[in-house]
Chain A
Amino acid sequence: MLSFLFRRLLQTIPTVLAVVLLVFVLFSVVPGSIASSMSDDADPQVELRMKKQLGLDDPVYVRFGVYIAKLASGDFGTSFRTHEPVTSMIAKRAWPTLQLIFTAMAFAVVIGVPLGFIAALQPGGIVDTLAMVVAVSGLSIAKFWLGLVLMYLFALKLGWLPSFGYGDGGLKYLLLPAVTLGVSPMALFARTTRAAVLEIMTADFVRTARSKGMSETRVVKWHVMRNALVIILTTVGLQFGGLMGQAVVVEKLFSWPGIGSLLVDSVLQRDIPAVQGSILVVVLAFLAINLLIDVLYGVIDPRIRYA
């Protein structure tokens, strides 16, 4: 297990380096600079001096080398725009994003997985039909539109929740953005769970268990659920990455102070250190979650071995 973890951690290094390099190259070729984003009439000489001071006149490979050396010591650099350490900027935004993503994921799992299970246990029934209508709708609805509908319903019409903002970070501010973000994965989990359960129900080992006289409850609990969970877990892991990408729409809509909006704003303002830092954190989080999922496989199904 330990050697597995060590190998996986080593494997993340080239992935991270590749992402950092890609971002570097992209920002070397896209038009626009920090000086031009700051001032409409920046003197060309000022722009040159600014670039020199920020080290932007060095070749890409030199800048990349400097950045990697800094990263190795845990320094994400300093924002061109705010002159704040990027780590501190990200730290301020990380918690709201984590709150949003984990609440959305909890909503998606708690609603989606049981819905898929119930649907699969009575295929073709009314619950199955309803569940699949919910699933298809959930996958099709645009987040922006859904967010507005939820705002309209729960804030304006019912008056139960605030329509926007972070407030004190409490649940009442979190609910609407989290549900908006969580509906799509919820629908996906429902569909995946249903498909997985239906497939497992017809597997040989399930048939064997039934023929040996095992009760249906025990069949579902010991065979179906455990095997389905491995598939569901894989989907959950992949969805975490997707949620990080989609969070930006929800953050913007609800004025939620997360990393997604930091990333978009930094791109628009050509604040390269902040862009690099934000992307790096998102990638690291994605890799960490996938590693965690891999570890959980073994917990759920001890037959899985980390060779």
Chain B
Amino acid sequence: MMFRMIAIVAGLGLALAGSAEAQTPRKGGTIRMTAPYGSSFTSLDIHTTQRAQDEIYAKALHRSLYVWNSAEGKPVLELAKEDAVSGGGLVHTFKLRDDAYFHNGRKMTADDVIWSYTRIMDGTKAFPGARFVRVIEGAAAVEKGQAKEISGLKKIDDFTLEMKLTEKVDPGFYFFTALTSIYPADEGAKESFIQKPIGLGPFKFVEHVPGSRIVLERWDRFYKPGKPYADKIVVSVMGEAAARDVAFRNKEIDTSVLGPAQYVAYQSDAALKGTIVEVAEVFTRYMGMNPSFKPFADKRVRQAINYAIDTDLIITKLVKGKAYRATSWLPLTAPAYDKAMKPYPYDPAKAKQLLAEAGYPNGFEFEWTTSQNESWGLPIVSAVIPMLDKVGIKAKVKQVETAVLAEVVRSGDYQAFIYSQASGPDPQAALKCFHSSTPQPACNYTTFKNADFDKIVDEAGQADDPAKRIQLLQKANALLYEEAPVWFFNYNKAVMAVQPWLKGVQLNATELTHQNVEDLWVDETSPAK
């Protein structure tokens, strides 16, 4: 089902991936990827950074217990060969790989997994992966400084690990990102590790030129036979889209993320059109409304906002078609996405009627906090303001930088905000962000509270039958849509240009730039030596 869904949205990209499968991968060569998200790599300690930018290199250098399988659209075991579930779905016994070697030549054992997860729960460090490891019993106690060891982690032997969870969830969704990478326990604690990281990934560290590039070379003892294919990977920091465009056209880089303007330009250029791959990523862009601000406490007002905005027009004209219309919270590539859902139509008359029913016949005024972001920030807000004005709602813009916006939405210091938030890949976790027990700083940014919604999500969490769980999550998603705590704007369409000589690119719905690089290869036409 997932593959079909991705196929629908992937278009040209799938054709590219298909052609790669038909050829025999070539050994050798250099893959030249780009890190397109603005600034330098934050750190060579991937436990400390949640930025998509950093995970691009980390996917080559490190490995986690699970890995994202783009073709199947779900996480699959990576550092373990088997996961036996018991204890009513709460206890997972992992048979770890006995052929995974760190880049210092030492074999990975259960101790390394336990050490890594315990490190992530250090309650003085704010490691972003803590949100995932917290699902292990006793992890929160370590974070709070009440325990030194995670009670839910038990080493049975060097290659057998028992993990007891606090909730009946699929641990794959919690342990596939680089935020939970497994470090070598003996080396990870050393200060030198940050300068010269050691991982389990297919490529080992060679060089970091801060602000410019990271160079990695093939790790010959990688556990997947015959992989990786390439000799070397260079990941260049290239935050400027126009500079990437020149470098891509000049064949100096193999991948380049495209913004809306370039998306249009590449589509209309015969020489470049074939390089485009695209996928619906698991991010939802939205305007969050604060129920403590009186008008937004009324569901009819929130619905009126959804009716008052011509969302399709904005996506077509302003976002240049580089987005999919949102029809509630769960994105197209979520297993629980309901294709039957229809978006709020553009209907200013209906919006006015709802406002009048809610006691705001003349509208009202609110402050809208936004960043400068071109896809979900000020340009979008500027386009929406006249639409809201048409139904009597006046919006005053409060512009802040992205880092400040993150703090604003977590602290609730807003009347409305516009943001992009992960809404997958785990639909249950994504919807739990709207559960009344989820604190605002965690991800319930609009402090949504609805007893019926809570009940359905809780039931889904307890369901053993996957089909039943999906059905319940779809119900919860529909209820959320009806309650409209946000203006449902769009799901990100990630677009990347890929040189014809780079093969094996995966349509990763969690983040297109995050590639399992051991599957990539370059043919002999690559200009890189």
Extra contacts besides A36-B407, A83-B194 (20): CB < 8 Å: A31-B400, A32-B404, A32-B407, A38-B48, A38-B128, A40-B131, A41-B442, A42-B126, A43-B143, A50-B126, A89-B210, A155-B252, A159-B250, A162-B252, A163-B250, A165-B213, A165-B252, A256-B212, A257-B209, A265-B39
Asked whether any CB of chain B lies closer than 8 Å to the CB of A46, the reply is: yes
Q: Which residue of chain B is the closest to A264 with respect to CB atoms?
A: B39
A40-B443, A89-B210, A252-B239 known; A31 vs B42 contact (CB < 8 Å): no
A-B contact pairs, 7 of them (CB 8 A): A42-B130, A46-B125, A148-B246, A166-B212, A257-B212, A258-B211, A269-B42
Complex interface: chain A residues within 8 A of B194 (CB): 82-84
B211 x A40 contact (CB < 8 A)? no
CB of A76, distance to nearest CB on chain B (Å): 16
Complex interface: chain B residues within 8 A of A40 (CB): 50, 128, 131, 406, 410, 443
Complex interface: chain A residues within 8 A of B210 (CB): 89, 92-93, 257, 262
CB of B404, distance to nearest CB on chain A (Å): 5
A81-B48, A83-B191, A155-B250 known; A47 vs B243 contact (CB < 8 Å): no
Which residues between 136 and 163 of chain B lie within 8 Å of chain A, taking CB atoms? 143-145
Which residues between 34 and 62 of chain A lie within 8 Å of chain B, taking CB atoms? 34-47, 49-50, 52-53
Asked whether any CB of chain A lies closer than 8 Å to the CB of B237, the reply is: yes
Asked whether any CB of chain B lies closer than 8 Å to the CB of A255, the reply is: yes
Asked whether any CB of chain B lies closer than 8 Å to the CB of A164, the reply is: yes
CA distance A156 to B408 in the complex (A): 43
Asked whether any CB of chain B lies closer than 8 Å to the CB of A251, the reply is: yes
Asked whether any CB of chain B lies closer than 8 Å to the CB of A66, the reply is: no
CB of B495, distance to nearest CB on chain A (Å): 21
Q: How large is the interface on A (under 10, 10 to 19, 20 to 34, 35 or more residues)?
A: 35 or more
Asked whether any CB of chain A lies closer than 8 Å to the CB of B7, the reply is: no
CB of B59, distance to nearest CB on chain A (Å): 20
Could you mark each residue 404-416 of chain B with 1 if its beta carbon is under 8 Å from any beta carbon of chain A, else 0?
A: 1011101000000
Complex interface: chain B residues within 8 A of A159 (CB): 250
CB of B34, distance to nearest CB on chain A (Å): 9
Q: Which residue of chain A is the closest to B44 with respect to CB atoms?
A: A82
A256 x B404 contact (CB < 8 A)? no
Complex interface: chain A residues within 8 A of B191 (CB): 83
A82-B45, A270-B403 known; A39 vs B211 contact (CB < 8 Å): no
B131 x A41 contact (CB < 8 A)? yes
Asked whether any CB of chain A lies closer than 8 Å to the CB of B450, the reply is: no
A residues bordering B, Cβ < 8 Å?
30-47, 49-50, 52-53, 81-84, 89, 92-93, 144, 147-148, 151-152, 155-156, 159, 162-166, 251-258, 261-262, 264-265, 268-270
Asked whether any CB of chain A lies closer than 8 Å to the CB of B195, the reply is: yes
- Secondary structure at the A interface, as helix, strand, loop or mixed, is helix
CA distance A41 to B39 in the complex (A): 22
Complex interface: chain B residues within 8 A of A252 (CB): 239-240
Complex interface: chain A residues within 8 A of B49 (CB): 38
CA distance A46 to B331 in the complex (A): 32
Complex interface: chain B residues within 8 A of A89 (CB): 210
Q: Which residue of chain B is the closest to A151 with respect to CB atoms?
A: B246
Which residues between 201 and 219 of chain B lie within 8 Å of chain A, taking CB atoms? 209-213
Asked whether any CB of chain A lies closer than 8 Å to the CB of B236, the reply is: yes
A45-B144, A81-B43, A253-B243 known; A36 vs B410 contact (CB < 8 Å): yes
A93-B211, A256-B211 known; A37 vs B130 contact (CB < 8 Å): no
Which residues between 387 and 407 of chain B lie within 8 Å of chain A, taking CB atoms? 400-404, 406-407
A47 x B126 contact (CB < 8 A)? yes
CA distance A144 to B241 in the complex (A): 12
Question: B42 contacts which of A35, A39, A81 (Cβ < 8 Å)?
Answer: A81
Asked whether any CB of chain A lies closer than 8 Å to the CB of B40, the reply is: yes
Q: Which residue of chain A is the closest to B402 with respect to CB atoms?
A: A268
A38 x B127 contact (CB < 8 A)? yes
Asked whether any CB of chain A lies closer than 8 Å to the CB of B123, the reply is: yes
Asked whether any CB of chain A lies closer than 8 Å to the CB of B342, the reply is: no
Complex interface: chain A residues within 8 A of B123 (CB): 43, 45-46, 49
CA distance A258 to B211 in the complex (A): 7
Could you mark each residue 230-274 of chain B with 1 if its beta carbon is under 8 Å from any beta carbon of chain A, else 0?
A: 000000111110110011011010000000000000000000000
B128 x A46 contact (CB < 8 A)? no
CB of B391, distance to nearest CB on chain A (Å): 32
CB of B118, distance to nearest CB on chain A (Å): 15
Question: B247 contacts which of A41, A147, A164 (Cβ < 8 Å)?
Answer: A164
B404 x A31 contact (CB < 8 A)? yes
Asked whether any CB of chain A lies closer than 8 Å to the CB of B89, the reply is: no
Asked whether any CB of chain A lies closer than 8 Å to the CB of B124, the reply is: yes
CB of B126, distance to nearest CB on chain A (Å): 4
Complex interface: chain B residues within 8 A of A147 (CB): 243
